[in-house]
Structure 1
Amino acid sequence: GISEADLQQVSRYLALLAVPAQRSLASGFPKGVAPLDEHRVDPVQVAAGSRLFEQARCTACHTATLKTGPGHLFAELRNQTIKPYTDLLLHDMGTGLADNYVEGQAKGGLWRTAPLWGIGYTDKVMGNAARVGYLHDGRARNLTEAILWHGGEGEKSRQRFEAMSKADREAVLAFLKSL
């Protein structure tokens, strides 16, 4: 069996595990040394996508920066600035995403804004053979579909995304994949 002390150490380790860093900078590898594919980014495109994400008002719900409180059990996690890209609040996402399942006070069309940090690793973690699904029920096959399912409070942001040029939409997707 596992001892209480070992269990506490594992719990502490898991609680202090960091989220994946955003890959928004060019590789720091020396010239001639290739980084892993998932670390290859176009920093100019990612920066443009970040600006477009904000201009589309996606950050109204997918808030980039939050600050942790002073009362966390672990001092290392107190008063830290984090970038989860969520406001952690419930939002009406429209009838298209509604499942009519009431949970507590949340009606079937209300959804908590999912954190986007780490979303760029989804394909890598799931592997080539697995079907990746986005949104609460996996109905979106890719990030574009996930954006296009936004209705209700997210509808205007979706419309702004739809109105973007192909290059701008690709920049937004590059930004999301860098998270």
Structure 2
Amino acid sequence: MPECLCYIFHNMANEVYGILSNIALPVNGDTYQTAAPDDESFLRNVITPIYNVLRREARSNKGGKASHSKWRNYDDLNEYFWSGKCFKLGWPMNLEADFFLHSDGLPFANQRNNQVTVRKRKLKVNFVEARTFWHLYRSFDRMWMFFTMAFQAMLIVAWNSGSLRGFFDKDIFRKVLTIFITAAFLNFLQGTRLFLAS
């Protein structure tokens, strides 16, 4: 998750700058302290909690059979770091933050003091994708429209002149401009489909 990596990087860079400069923390005025070297600290305190969230959510999809609205996928977890909500995680990360709440409602193991607490279910709060028969078209609608109009323009040029030079003939060029009528019709069909779907 690139946004998550940026969040970690900026917090670590700020921490290193604070240690090197020996400046006060913005929250409580204390200075940064260098801890005793611990080779597994970053793995235990940063990587493992994020990995546990990803693993739990990946298992919640039940091999792709669970409803898309019942579990948080890669995009949902990544979107968390797009907003100011990510600053509630703090640094070092607060394992009580809502990012670490799981969508399946199962107990969450607190790695620091080995307690198991039951957490409130964390639902998806952003866009929930509804998978329909139109999903393939909807995902690529601009591409299909471009292909349709390009095919129409190439067919008109080939039918009327047989060479690309014919495109610059004013009568053929007027005929090629009918692709905008085709574009309007395709947009009308798309709007109709969206209206009927809602």
Q: Provide the TM-score with structure 1 as the length reference.
A: 0.21
The structure with the greater share of residues assigned to helix is 2
Q: Choose 1 or 2 for highest CA Rg.
A: 2
Query: Larger relative CO (CA 8 A, sep 6+): 1 or 2?
Result: 1
Q: Provide the TM-score with structure 2 as the length reference.
A: 0.20
